[in-house]
């Protein structure tokens, strides 16, 4: 078995393990989507109400932010319910939606004007730093270091968002929003929300979808011009290419405390 085949096999085993460790009832009838925006930038929070198989529209949905007072809205025919929100302070916010006794939650990341994010693809990116255990530990340390200077935004194309969050929590990676990647639109949405992307890490196709204005781009694809060998090299490259105020520390320090 080749090294690449072994890595893929190990990744599948990890996914199945995380799937089995999911708590009962995780297939909630209400799904809340993660969002990222800047302070003062309006954002539409989205929740989808589902039946056993299909989406279920015409349901009342109560949405709370960080346990605040509920705001009621109604899901449309496609099951989607929206709430326009104007964030006035930065940080990670928990968004909870309740409908007919079912509950789901997601995360809203709100950025200061001078903050930037690093976009990390799960497939072809974080996936490459999970095995063996020594590599996973080193990856975790690098991401924790980067999270002190930048906010992290995870993207997933094939793996479910909920499963990715389970993996991040299980292996103690920095928690943040997890967005579904559907091509260039995710970058356009971030740009329209005032989100500045400092770097992109992931597969060659993810780098291709990223705007040319993003100079720092890294992939573990050996055949790509931006190929890099390890997460430690990524941190060092960002150190060398950043202004002093934006320079990450690539040490074993605790990650940025959440507000």
How is 90-136 classified by DSSP, letter by letter? -EEEEEEEEETTEEEEEEEEEE-TT-EEEEEETTTTGGGGSSSHHHH
What is the reported pLDDT for 129? 84
Domain end call among 83, 111, 139 = 111
127 and 236 within one domain: yes
What is the reported pLDDT for 131? 77
199 and 120 within one domain: yes
Q: Kindly state whether residue 5 falls inside one of the protein's structural domains.
A: no
Helix then strand count (H, E) for the chain reads 6, 13
What is the reported pLDDT for 147? 95
> What SS3 class is residue 20?
helix
128 and 101 within one domain: no
44 and 154 within one domain: no
186 and 219 within one domain: yes
What is the reported pLDDT for 107? 98
213 and 189 within one domain: yes
How do beta strands 102-111 and 35-38 pair?
Answer: parallel
Q: Per the structure, how many domains does the chain have?
A: 2
40 and 154 within one domain: no
Give the phi and the psi of residue 133 in degrees, each rounded to 5. -60, -40
What is the reported pLDDT for 73? 97
Strand order across the beta sheet in which 116-121 lies: 177-180, 151-156, 116-121, 196-201, 216-218
Task: Give the domain CATH number at 193.
Answer: 3.40.50.1000
What is the reported pLDDT for 259? 43
The per-residue pLDDT for range 120-169, each reduced to its tens digit, is 999 999 988 887 888 899 999 999 999 999 999 999 999 999 999 999 99
130 and 105 within one domain: no
What is the reported pLDDT for 95? 99
Mean pLDDT by 10 residues, the chain (259 residues): 58 56 53 97 96 85 97 96 97 97 97 97 90 88 95 95 94 96 94 97 96 95 89 91 69 46
Q: What is the CA radius of gyration of the chain?
A: 19
Q: Which domain holds residue 98?
A: 30-111
Task: Give the domain CATH number at 99.
Answer: 2.60.40.10
Total-model pTM: 0.84
106 and 203 within one domain: no
């Amino acid at each position: 078995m080749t090294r690449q085949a072994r890595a893929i096999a190990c990744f599948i085993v990890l996914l199945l393990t995380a799937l089995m460790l999911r708590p009962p009832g995780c297939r909630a009838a209400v799904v809340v989507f993660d969002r990222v925006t800047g302070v003062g930038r309006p954002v539409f929070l989205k929740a989808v109400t589902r039946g056993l198989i299909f989406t279920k529209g015409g349901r009342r949905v109560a949405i709370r932010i960080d346990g605040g007072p509920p705001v009621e809205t109604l899901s449309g025919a496609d099951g989607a319910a929206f709430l326009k929100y104007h964030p006035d302070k930065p940080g990670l916010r928990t968004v909870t939606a309740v409908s007919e006794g079912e509950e789901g939650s997601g995360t809203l990341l709100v950025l200061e004007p001078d903050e930037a994010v690093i976009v990390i693809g799960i497939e072809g990116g974080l996936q490459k730093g999970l095995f063996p255990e020594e590599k996973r530990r080193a990856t975790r340390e690098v991401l924790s270091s980067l999270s002190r200077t930048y906010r992290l935004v995870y993207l997933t194309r094939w793996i479910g968002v909920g499963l990715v969050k389970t993996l991040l929590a299980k292996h103690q990676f920095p928690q943040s929003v997890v967005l579904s990647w559907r091509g260039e639109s995710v970058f356009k949405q971030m740009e329209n929300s005032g989100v500045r992307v400092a770097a992109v890490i992931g597969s060659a196709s993810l780098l291709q979808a990223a705007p040319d204005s993003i100079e720092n781009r890294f992939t573990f694809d050996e055949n790509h011009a931006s190929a890099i060998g390890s997460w430690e090299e990524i941190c060092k490259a960002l150190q060398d290419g950043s202004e002093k105020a934006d320079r990450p520390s690539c040490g074993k320090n605790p990650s940025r405390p959440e507000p």
